[in-house]
Structure 1
Amino acid sequence: MAPVSAGPVYLDHNATTPVDPRVTEAMLPYLTTHFGNPSSAHPYADRPCRALATARAQVAALVGAHPPEIVFTASGSEANLLALRGALLASGARAPHVITQVTEHPAVLETCRALERLHGVRVTTLPVDGDGLVDPATLRTALRAVPDVTLVSVMAANNETGALQPIAELAALAREYGALTALVEGCRPRSSGRGKPGTVPRVLPFGPPRVGDEDGLGFAVLLHDGVLPGQVRRFDAMAKVVSEFSDAHTLNHDPAGYHWVSWAFRGGRCFMLSGRRYRIAFTPAQAEFAEQIGGICRSVWNTGLEQRREYRRRGAFIGYAEQCRQLADAKRDFGWLSDAPSHVLQQTLKDLDQAVTTHGAWKVRWRSHRRWSPSFRFPDAKQIVVQRIGRRWGRVKLPKLGWVRFRWSRPLGGVVRSATITRDGRNWFVSFLVKDGKTTPETHPGPAVGIDRGVVVAATTSDGTFYDRPFITGGERQRYRRLQHQPARTRKGSHRRRRVVAKLGALMRRVRSRRADFNAQLAATVTARYGTIVLEDLTTRNMTTSAKGTIERPGSGVAQKSGLNRAILDKGWYGLELAVNNAARHTGSKVIKVPAAYTSQTCSACRVVDAASRESQARFVCTSCGHVEHADANAAKNIKAAGQAVSGRGDLAIRRSVKRQPPRPRARQHAAPAARGIPVL
């Protein structure tokens, strides 16, 4: 027998393992060189920000989730806290109920006790048998005894005893009674048919100390029907660990026979999702049914929005999960709700939840029957089948709509993730969200450029190139004006009025298509040529508001402001910004937005600011140095300089005006050294 080496033998790898050397190697660049805060707006944040996005995408791919559903935390215990607290408090229930087990992890038990003490959460603790397992019959009894259970929390593999809970059976019971399932600690069965990541739990917290990664880091997964949709907290630590570790996830074995998931990667990249839009050839019956589905989705949206506003009036809260439960109950009372696919209605509620989370319940708009065009989404890729049936035609199979033919105007070029049906005028379209396997390059070797958006010339670059084209012809403009006068001679609701409105819409659709094509081509040109693109930070919606005021306080210059608004909207300023950001994903170009203040009044040669230097819309003559240049080209140069300059305060001149001067140095409190010849700083 070999002699035992002197010193203690470490046998607690199920609690904490040494840091894997590959993890240390992957972390080192982000601890020494790329140490910037990913949330900052300077170049030091660019690499960590990309690493953070890559990490989120890699972890999502590992566990079968979407990147926005990955929440990075500082530890596995914090992941447990976030999952449990979020699921219970965001459920909308007045007295949420959680069922757990007596041998649960202390991070879960203490969290349950705190929620019970501070928020009135009801907690039921299940016993275990002699093998440390929860009997599914015991869980069923508890679910029957207490209605409306919000969450069932189970420790999949005990880190002390190695007991493996019957997760599949427990999760099936929880889903049967409408409760969320939390699988505590990140693990999955072996690949022997016992499941794959993300298929059993719906709230999945992970902790790294048992997989050879850095202590004090973790993450939680909030899956499609989980909680807190769209509310992803961004933690900087994970960006420094996950970005470039291994080509595939690392698995360590524990004595119980489970694979503990390591979420460290090397050389991984974030795959992009692209859109593909095709024109649909509905049959009359399919077009009528699509209108019906759109009307049902509109009704669900408006009802859900009014319900959220009513809850806000009472000082209460209702979330996506509770509204989905009530939607299922409403189908029994209102049979017409069952005509639409269930996951389409659930997606409508999810879109509403994201809109309310972003803008608030009072700023989200109603969907009017007259103004809103039908639009609904099929989010489940498993129920979408796409086939090409000819050189110009393809077909897609959608739930309850069946096979639908569409014009094959371009290849799909990837795997379909979802499908959205929309109507624009008389034509229907299907938009596929496709994973094409392309990745965003790390950097773009091209130079920097500033772009000035104008009302006469659509876009002018800092190197003196002008981009513009007319979006409406003279004849179309005259015809549009004639059509605008006709509704005044028609009766509201009449067929004649509808025909006139349809003609107006068809004419403007051609204008919108030309504008979108121009923006897409310009964005592709500048992103292919330049590595850094600097734009003005313009809020187009605020800039194009009416100046008419109110009856008590009427506005001034209303006609002039109306003409300016039309010119801004005609050039498509915001559409160009969206197109540039979208095209930059494919080239690796960096898009920077700078304040627009004084860019048109500053001389690009001597940096003197004077409104008198702008002699006209197109002519700039500096009153200080006499520099003469086209006004738009001069402004584009100032925009580029603002994006590249470092202000006197030591940071990039992105969030402040280029006129800001550095603060004066503070005098030292003790002036005695000045007497000895040392200058006071």
Structure 2
Amino acid sequence: MQRLQAFKFELMPNGEQQRDMRRFAGSCRFVFNKALALQKANHEAGEKFIGYVAMARLLTGWRNGTETPWLKDSPVHPLQHALKDMERAYKNFFAKRAAFPRFKKRGQRDSFRYPDPKQIKLEQGNSRIFLPKLGWLRYRNSRDVLGAVRNATVSLSAGKWFVSIQTEREVEQPMPQATSAIGIDVGVARFATFSDGSYLAPLNSFRRHEARLRRYQHAMSRKTKFSNNWKKAKARVQRIHTRIGNARRDYLHKATHTISQNHAMVCIEDLQVRNMSRSAAGSTDQPGKNVRAKSGLNKSILDQGWFEFRRQLDYKLAWNGGWLIAVPPQNTSRTCSACGCISADNRLTQAKFACVECGFEEHADVVGAINTLARGHRVAACGEAVLSGPSVKQEPTEVTMRGRSHA
């Protein structure tokens, strides 16, 4: 089977290469925004969507024209790929997978991609990579790159440049080393509760750095925008965000690695995180209720990284020969795992579950994980469809002590 994998390294460019990379990223951002503005104007005029081929012809005119001749200083393939990114953003919007495409801002996720592997040269022994119009760049070689190079993406994050090298290689069809199946109930008080009764305590990376982040953001707001002091303050804020993201990503990688190694089948709830973390502010005519409490809950939900947790489980289980099953989340923590009684009264508090019919008592998250596993078995056996829609799973924020851990 074919395996796609990305390897990310920090680049060590010289001053001229840094200036070139900023210029290339700016050119790609300009092309994306210009194409998006053209698409919006075309749509407002009642015309059809402009496809990539037609856009690529326009790009040739932009590069050879008198208004934007500086586009010729950038490699053409990353500019063409910016058009493909814009087209993909529209397709995701039409398929209701994402919101309407937005214009890109300078300094936010600056990046560009080299899609042609023939133009990329990698020398792992010398820890350097060749990219068109940049030449050879040194990188921090932290691990071996496996497989044939397919593309390379250069990105800027918190003042540092990185290259992500995507490769493809043939691997044997994996066979799961484990034979067990487990259900997982994700939450805020407990990050992940397993059907065997164990659980992972939440990392709460954002909460740990929130006070410091707020202080630096407040200091940044007092600076004159785009001044040297403002840029220094912005760099401090970006470093904190990077530290928060790195800590969360490391936690999730360790947790998903252990789970995928120890279980052949993992069942989780098909949660709609966007709906669950939607603001309760409402409008001027219809103001929301408990806005402050809902805002705190939304912040805690997003701090957990449930979507990334599911994404990592999905591909890591596939790499180990296992599989991930997503099941409908409705009433998993309100259904008695002993007698099947469904009632909101079964869940007395966030943590306590007591069945009003048979008297069965257990931690509510454990009950949810057991029911998730049972639904997963039905999906695997009968192909039961996963119901999509807004989730009713909402929990108050609560701090618990660390319990037994899988990571």
Which TM-score applies when normalising by structure 2?
Answer: 0.88
Which position in structure 2 is the counterpart of 1:453?
A: 186
In structure 2, the partner of 1:304 is 35
Q: For 1:535 and 1:456, locate their aligned partners in 2 and report how far apart those are by CA, in whole Å.
A: 17
Task: Please tell me whether residue 560 in structure 1 is matched to residue 289 in structure 2.
Answer: no
Q: Do the aligned residues in 2 keep the contact of 1:644 with 1:652 (CA within 8 Å)? A: no
Does the aligned pair in 1 maintain the 2:257–2:316 contact within 8 Å? yes
Give 2:61's match in structure 1, choosing from 313, 316, 329. 329
The answer to whether the Cα contact below 8 Å between 1:643 and 1:654 also exists between their aligned partners in 2 is no
- Map residues 121-136 of structure 1 onto 2, 5 A cutoff: none
Q: Distance in 2 between matches of 1:454 and 1:283?
A: 45
| 1:442 positional shift | 6.6
2:87 corresponding residue in structure 1: 353
2:188–2:202: 8 Å Cα contact kept in structure 1?
A: no
Name 1:383's counterpart in structure 2: 119
**Residue 628 (str. 1) matches residue 361 (str. 2):** yes
| CA distance in structure 2 between the partners assigned to 1:356 and 1:473 by the alignment | 31
Q: Which residue of 2 aligns with 1:544?
A: 277
The 8 Å contact of residues 122 and 129 in structure 2, kept in 1 or not, is answered as yes
Amino acid at match of 1:332: N
| Cα distance between partner residues in 1 of 2:384 and 2:73 | 55
Report the Cα offset of residue 474 of structure 1: 8.2
- Cα distance in 1 for residues equivalent to 2:327 and 2:99: 30
Helix, strand or coil: the match of 2:332? coil
**Root mean square deviation, CA, Å:** 2.3
1:266-285 to structure 2, matched below 5 A, reads 270-285=1-16
Match for residue 341 of structure 1 among 69, 75, 96? 75
**Which protein is bigger by CA-based radius of gyration?**
1
* Residues 369-407 of structure 1, C-alpha deviations (whole Å, 9 max, x = no match): 25x2211110111111111345xxx10000000000000
CA distance 1:439–1:303, shift in 2 (3 Å): farther
Q: Which moved more, 1:462-471 or 1:608-617?
A: 462-471
3-state DSSP of counterpart to 1:376:
strand
Q: Deviations over 1:312-368 (max 9, x none)?
A: 222323100111111112211121111111111111111222221221397112111
Tell me, yes or no, if the aligned pair for 2:178 and 2:261 is still in contact at 8 Å: no
Task: Determine if the alignment matches structure 1 residue 430 to structure 2 residue 163.
Answer: yes
Q: 1:357 and 1:475 mapped to 2: Cα distance?
A: 38
Pair 1:639 & 2:372 matched: yes
Q: Which amino acid aligns with 1:312?
A: H
The one-letter amino acid paired with 1:518 is Y
Distance 1:331 1:656, change over 3 A: closer
* Higher RCO structure (Cα 8 Å, ≥6 apart): 2
SS at 2:171's partner residue? strand
* Conserved 8 A contact 1:440-1:585: no
The counterpart of 2:106, out of the listed 362, 365, 369, is 369
Tell me the alpha carbon deviations over residues 550-569 of structure 1, each in whole angstroms, 9 at most, x when there is no partner: 22222111101101011111
Structure 2 match to 1:319: 51
SS at match of 1:588: coil
Q: Tell me how far apart the structure 2 counterparts of residues 656 and 398 of structure 1 sit (CA, whole Å).
A: 46
**8 Å contact kept, 2:188–2:304:** yes
1:512 partner SS: helix
Q: Which residue of 1 aligns with 2:402?
A: none
Q: 2:394 is matched with which residue?
A: none
Q: Which of these residues, 579, 593, 601, is aligned with residue 326 of structure 2?
A: 593
Report what 1:485 is aligned to.
218
Task: After the TM superposition, list the runs of 4 or more consecutive aligned residues in structure 1 that deviate by more than 6 angstroms.
Answer: none
Q: In structure 2, what is the Cα distance between the partners aligned to 1:493 and 1:306? A: 26
Describe the SS at the equivalent of 1:346.
helix
Matched, 1:577 2:310: yes
Give the direction of change, closer, same or farther, for the CA distance of 1:440–1:468 in structure 2 (3 Å limit): farther
SS at match of 1:498: helix
8 Å contact from structure 2 (residues 178, 262) kept in 1 = no
Matched, 1:511 2:244: yes
Task: State, as a whole percentage, how many aligned pairs show the same letter.
Answer: 34
Contact 1:309 1:362 in 2 (8 A): no
- Residue aligning to 2:254: 521
The amino acid that maps onto 1:584 is L
How far is 1:488 from its partner?
4.2
C-alpha displacement of 1:480:
2.5
CA distance in 2, matches of 1:622, 1:512: 40
Measured at CA, do residues 385 and 640 of structure 1 come closer, stay the same or move farther in structure 2, by a change above 3 Å? same
Structure 2 Cα separation of the partners of residues 355 and 588 of structure 1: 32
Alpha-carbon distance between aligned partners in 2 of 1:526 and 1:563, rounded to the nearest angstrom: 29
Alpha-carbon distance change, 475 to 351 in structure 1, aligned in 2, over 3 angstroms: closer
Residue in structure 1 matched with residue 133 of structure 2 by the alignment: 400
| Structure 2 residue identity aligned to 1:565 | N
Helix, strand or coil at the partner of 1:626: coil
CA contact (8 A) 1:439 1:586 kept: no
Q: How far has the Cα of 1:651 moved from its partner? A: 4.7
State the alpha-carbon separation in 2 of the partners of residues 341 and 431 from structure 1: 18
Aligned to 1:450, what secondary structure does the other structure show? strand
1:579 and 1:639 map into 2 onto residues whose CA distance is: 19
Per the alignment, residue 348 of structure 2 pairs with 615
* CA separation of 1:605 and 1:356: change in aligned 2, threshold 3 A: same
Secondary structure of 2:373's aligned partner: helix
* Local SS of the residue matching 1:316: coil
8 Å CA contact 1:308–1:317 kept in 2: the answer is yes
Q: In the alignment, residue 355 of structure 1 is paired with which amino acid?
A: A
Q: Distance in 2 between matches of 1:556 and 1:435?
A: 51
Q: 1:475 to 1:568 in 2, by over 3 A?
A: closer
Asked if the contact 2:209–2:244 (Cα under 8 Å) also holds between the matched residues in 1, the reply is no
> Could you say what secondary structure the match of 1:645 adopts?
helix
1:604 is paired with a residue whose SS is: coil
SS in 2 for 1:591: strand
Q: 321-330 or 461-470, which moves further after superposition?
A: 461-470
Shift of 1:280: 0.4
Deviation at 1:444, TM superposition (A): 6.9
Q: Structure 2 stretches of 5 or more lacking a match?
A: 389-407
CA contact under 8 A between 2:328 and 2:387: conserved in structure 1?
yes
- The count of aligned residue pairs is 382
- Residue in 1 aligned with 2:404? none
Q: Which amino acid aligns with 1:359?
A: F
Could you tell me how far apart the structure 2 residues matched to 1:473 and 1:330 are? 43
What displacement does 1:422 show? 0.6
Residues 191, 200 of structure 2: 8 Å contact kept: yes
Q: Which has the higher helix share?
A: 2
